[in-house]
Amino acid sequence: MTDSEPQLDASHHATSPTDTSLQTSASLPLHADIWQETLGWCPSDRQQQQFQRLYHQICVGNQSLNLTRITQADEFWEKHLWDSLSGIHFLLTENADENSTEQANSPVTDQPDGASHQPGSQGDNPADNQTVNQEDNLVDHQAVDREDCEDNLVDHQTIDQANKLVSHQTIDQEIKRVLDIGTGAGFPGLPVAIARPSWQITLLDSTRKKIAFIDSILPKIELTNVHTFTHRAETLGRNSHHRYQYDLVLVRAVAAATVCAEYALPFLKVGGQGVLYRGRWTAAEEESLLYALDLLGGTIEAIYEWETPLSQGDRHCIIIRKIEKTPRFFPRDVGVPAKDPLA
């Protein structure tokens, strides 16, 4: 994790099972007014119940797994739920009454903790989980005019300004497939899946225990639009079942922005968008990202900046769009993007 990223993830020791923050009787705050005022959206009763179930399962799982240090109800609401959905705020305001699926209309029912689940992503398409043959990985670092990058730094927008410009920033094509790279305990993918039940969400992480945990809680949250993969982004990004297959890619608290871009662009269809969740954001980072995107076939479409509603933490969401096919030698071999960033 870089200094520019929100301190969200689970590189901390799991808290003790006796910690009062893990009491399963805790209830999430509604904060309906904050949802509406900041994101122009508010969860339905069913979605609020699903958020509560997700919170409960994370707290229970955190007793044995190193999932997250964020377990207090208000902090969880802000830094996992609100923060996850802030990255897609410009899509939440569209079709806000989206209740067309059976899932969106059916009530949440209790299920025993031992309920079984057969995840749709594991085994249905064996080829999806196979490593494709590695291609030539000698990257031709094309020259990019750094002065041009500086001249084209993107104007920053607050979340309020962004909501007023929704019609100009939304994806041109209908969103069907969404990928969350480095999902960890399921963020931002699980809150996005709850908020947008018509989207098919794929959660990708290289840690098998975390993916197994997510698989175990999906039936308890009653999410049927989520699929999971235990894989490296560098490998899956070369798989024909996933390369150029997604309309939207989310990357939160994973690595430097240029590394996230190299992970994300190969998965996107031409015209698709990526959301890079960041904490602080600098002109130097922006210049480096523009350089990397020039190599990868993308561009920065918008930069949204705001403060989190409860703790006033700095947040930026960088919206990137794929404008042409990514060269075949990207992503590079496992570990190379992080060790040798394109910037």
82 and 201 fall within a common domain: no
CA distances from 238 to 147, 243, 257, 326 (A): 32, 6, 20, 11
Cβ neighbours of residue 206 closer than 8 Å, sequence gap 6 or more: 182, 230, 231, 232
For residue 155, what pLDDT is reported? 64
What number of CA atoms fall less than 13 Å from residue 341's CA on the CB side?
17
50 and 151 fall within a common domain: no
**Can you give the residue range of the structural domain that contains 325?**
142-339
174 and 293 fall within a common domain: yes
Location of structure tokens 């705020």: 89
Summarised one tens digit per residue, pLDDT across range 216-259 is 999 999 999 999 999 999 999 999 999 999 999 999 989 999 99
Q: Is 121 inside any structural domain?
A: no
90 and 151 fall within a common domain: no
147 and 251 fall within a common domain: yes
177 and 239 fall within a common domain: yes
Q: Does an H or E element contain 77, and which?
A: none
For residue 154, what pLDDT is reported? 62
* Single-letter amino acid, residue 316: H
Of 69, 95, 121, the last residue of a domain is 95
Q: Does an H or E element contain 97, and which?
A: none
Ranges of the chain with pLDDT below 70: 1-25, 94-173
216 and 325 fall within a common domain: yes
Q: Is 114 inside any structural domain?
A: no
Of 77, 95, 113, the last residue of a domain is 95
**Domain of 186: which CATH number?**
3.40.50.150
Q: Is 58 inside any structural domain?
A: yes
179 and 266 fall within a common domain: yes
| Predicted model pTM | 0.76
89 and 235 fall within a common domain: no
170 and 292 fall within a common domain: yes
Neighbours of 296 (CB within 10 A): 26
212 and 269 fall within a common domain: yes
Count up the domains in the chain and report the number.
Answer: 2
193 and 326 fall within a common domain: yes
